[in-house]
Structure 1
């Protein structure tokens, strides 16, 4: 990754954080909880520029502009809202599980080869 890409990424992240800080307080609180949840669950595409987090901020900005409360936008079960957002996304957990399966297959093949 070039230094220019790092600098550009930091600029995008700062702009993203500024958008979050401009939201009403209730939206900011729910956004932080969503962000924590998503960081733990680990969707691979979670960038600020054009990723999931920016989409959430877009949705929250629209909801706030129309006078809706944040739970009117997300529903009362915020974790379920997150799960729905990432249901078709590849997560780091998925990648890890795939690597475990692959290692298991390698080990089985190695054992099979040794018993011949």
Structure 2
């Protein structure tokens, strides 16, 4: 069932991806979860808490989200390897850290789309006047 990047997808795979989303993105997410599972318990708990927050406010596009989670895993794996304490990674305010982290992944965020929609609506009704 696996196809190489140069092989065309079967009709079944095309249909399945229409229903479930790209299979490669799902594979990347499973790999991310496996990486997180290997972290020490306290780091794993911190990543899972950040992941929960990022799922609500992060990119809606699965490819962008997969890249974001890969980077999160990279950050915490490196922190473990360097012996960097969690508080040095996230700082005193974990929400501020998460928001700063999210700013690196603006594509596909629902909040960005809604802000643009609101600004556009107000600009239309006011003719762009202040």
TM-score normalized by structure 1?
Answer: 0.73
Q: 4+ runs of 1 displaced by more than 6 Å? A: none
- Aligned-residue RMSD, C-alpha: 2.6
- Structure with higher Rg: it is 1
> Contact 1:47 / 1:53 at 8 angstroms: preserved in 2?
yes
> Contact 2:58 / 2:105 at 8 angstroms: preserved in 1?
no
> Contact 1:44 / 1:89 at 8 angstroms: preserved in 2?
no
Q: 2:29 aligns with which of 13, 32, 40?
A: 13
Instruction: Give CA deviations for 1:28-56 in whole Å, capped at 9, x if unaligned.
Output: 111111112212223456422xx222111
CA separation in 1, counterparts of 2:89 and 2:120? 40
Residue matched to 1:92: 110
Please show how residues 6-85 of structure 1 align to structure 2 within 5 Å.
6-44=22-60, 46-48=64-66, 51-85=67-101
CA separation in 1, counterparts of 2:79 and 2:58? 25
- Structure 2 spans left out of the alignment, 5+ residues: 1-12
Instruction: Give CA deviations for 1:49-105 in whole Å, capped at 9, x if unaligned.
Output: xx2221111010011012222222222321111112223543311211222333445
- Structure 1 spans left out of the alignment, 5+ residues: 110-116
CA separation in 1, counterparts of 2:70 and 2:53? 15
CA separation in 1, counterparts of 2:59 and 2:27? 22
TM-score normalized by structure 2?
Answer: 0.66
